[in-house]
């Protein structure tokens, strides 16, 4: 197969009978060019299958119109819903989005951050995985906005968009204690991330309010290779809980499978993160708007591109409990 050479800006100029500078202006500042000339240039570009180099254009104007977003792994619905919110907002302002995955590893985060920054993205959005994001400080000082989503960056003066995690789980646990539950388990994996430390703090506060030591009821993992159902099954190695709070959507699904395998329709369950079939299955969840999380992050990135010198901000978005049945089960003797 013979590969054809890509058409250049000069090729388009020759076919359209204009200067290269005019062609460049058509793709950069079309409103400054006569409509007849714009039509002639675009027609020539279409015939030649010419695509302008948007990265080079952005750099010539002093900044890229592309924003990078670093996520954990594509299999988690949370990530792609946040990405959808980011993309929609960026698109409305003439920006494009590039998404890269880390496999939820610290090494992966640094690697893909370097790859995106080498492409001179206009801003970098990320869901931090590693324990230290100080490696991005030099780039931030050079004017590249860095926005942390879902959890703050560590050792880095970066803006952040987060959820009200502590209050969310505090409220959910109080709902269960109000029903009379005292043997309330909390299961999460990974447990070392900021979001889980906040959620655990809310759970522990609510348990302390009713005089219960939560330690025997906590199952905390830090290895994503462990199947969530296996973590949940550890709860039944001792005194059985009457209620479970799942720290994320993966653990919620694992809890559902573990309860189904036992034929258990008595144990109450509230999961953090809504998911597509939760309403069909009648699963009570702590919910929020992931699209709004992404939209607000994109807005902040665009603001920072325009003015990178503003004060660092952390924006907290609300959560709420959706009652569907599993979280409203009273304890049984």
**Beta carbons of 144 and 138 less than 8 angstroms apart:** no
Which pLDDT band, with edges at 50, 70 and 90, does 131 fall under?
confident
**Beta carbons of 113 and 125 less than 8 angstroms apart:** no
What pLDDT is stored for residue 67 in this prediction? 93
* 5, pLDDT greater than 80: no
Q: What percent of the chain has pLDDT over 70?
A: 95
Q: Residue 267 has what DSSP assignment?
A: S
Residue 35, classed as helix, strand or coil, is helix
Span 241-250, pLDDT tens digits: 999 999 999 9
Span 184-203, pLDDT tens digits: 999 999 898 899 999 999 99
> Of the ranges 52-56, 61-65, 198-202, 305-309, which one carries the lowest mean pLDDT score?
52-56
Distance of CA 147 to the CA centre of its chain: 11
Span 259-301, pLDDT tens digits: 999 999 999 999 999 988 999 999 999 999 999 999 999 999 9
Helices (H) and strands (E) in the chain, counts: 13, 12
* 116, pLDDT greater than 70: yes
Provide the terminal-to-terminal Cα distance of the chain, rounded to the nearest Å. Answer: 74
> Of the ranges 70-84, 149-163, 239-253, which one carries the lowest mean pLDDT score?
70-84
What pLDDT is stored for residue 129 in this prediction? 86
Span 215-259, pLDDT tens digits: 999 999 988 889 999 999 999 988 899 999 999 999 999 999 999
pTM of the model: 0.79
> Of the ranges 91-100, 174-183, 290-299, 319-328, which one carries the lowest mean pLDDT score?
91-100
**E-assigned strand segments in the chain:** 66-71, 96-101, 123-126, 146-149, 159-163, 184-188, 218-220, 243-246, 268-272, 284-287, 314-317, 320-322
| HEC readout, 164-199 | CHHHHHHHHHHHHHHCCCCCEEEEECCCCCHHHHHH
Residues near 83 by beta carbon (within 8 Å), at least 6 away in sequence: 69, 71, 97, 99, 294
Q: Are strands 320-322 and 284-287 parallel, antiparallel or unpaired?
A: antiparallel
Mean pLDDT of 17-34: 86
What pLDDT is stored for residue 119 in this prediction? 79
Residues near 153 by beta carbon (within 8 Å), at least 6 away in sequence: 126, 128, 133, 136, 146, 160
Which pLDDT band, with edges at 50, 70 and 90, does 59 fall under?
very low
* 320 CB neighbour count, 10 Å cutoff: 12
Most confident range (mean pLDDT) of 11-15, 27-31, 60-64, 268-272 is: 268-272
């Amino acid at each position: 197969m013979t590969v054809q050479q890509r058409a250049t800006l000069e090729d388009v100029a020759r076919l359209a009978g204009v200067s290269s500078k005019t062609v460049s202006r058509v793709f950069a500042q079309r409103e400054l060019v006569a409509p007849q000339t714009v039509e002639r240039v675009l027609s020539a570009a279409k015939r030649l299958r010419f695509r302008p180099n948007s990265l080079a254009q952005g750099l010539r104007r002093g900044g890229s119109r592309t924003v990078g977003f670093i996520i954990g792994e594509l299999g988690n619905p949370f990530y792609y819903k946040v990405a959808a919110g980011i993309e929609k907002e960026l698109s409305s302002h003439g920006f494009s989005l590039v998404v890269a995955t880390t496999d939820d590893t610290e090494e992966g985060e640094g690697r893909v951050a370097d790859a995106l920054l080498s492409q001179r993205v206009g801003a970098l959005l990320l869901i931090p995985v590693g324990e230290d994001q100080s490696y991005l400080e030099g780039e931030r000082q050079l004017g590249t906005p860095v926005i942390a989503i879902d959890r703050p960056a560590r050792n880095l003066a970066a803006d952040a968009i987060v959820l009200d995690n502590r209050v969310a789980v505090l409220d959910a646990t109080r709902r269960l204690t109000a029903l009379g539950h005292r043997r309330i388990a909390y299961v999460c994996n990974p447990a070392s991330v900021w979001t889980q430390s906040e959620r655990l703090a809310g759970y522990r506060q609510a348990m302390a309010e009713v005089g219960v030591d939560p330690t025997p009821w906590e199952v905390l993992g830090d290895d994503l290779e462990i199947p969530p159902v296996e973590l949940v099954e550890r709860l039944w190695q001792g005194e059985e809980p009457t209620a479970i709070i799942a720290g994320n959507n993966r653990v919620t699904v694992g809890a559902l499978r573990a309860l189904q395998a036992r034929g258990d329709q008595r144990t109450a369950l509230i999961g953090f993160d809504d998911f597509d079939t939760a309403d069909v299955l009648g699963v009570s969840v702590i919910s929020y708007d992931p699209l709004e999380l992404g939209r607000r992050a994109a807005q902040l990135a665009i603001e920072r591109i325009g003015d990178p010198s503003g004060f660092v901000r952390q924006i907290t978005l609300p959560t709420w409990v959706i009652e569907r049945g599993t979280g409203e089960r009273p304890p049984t003797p």
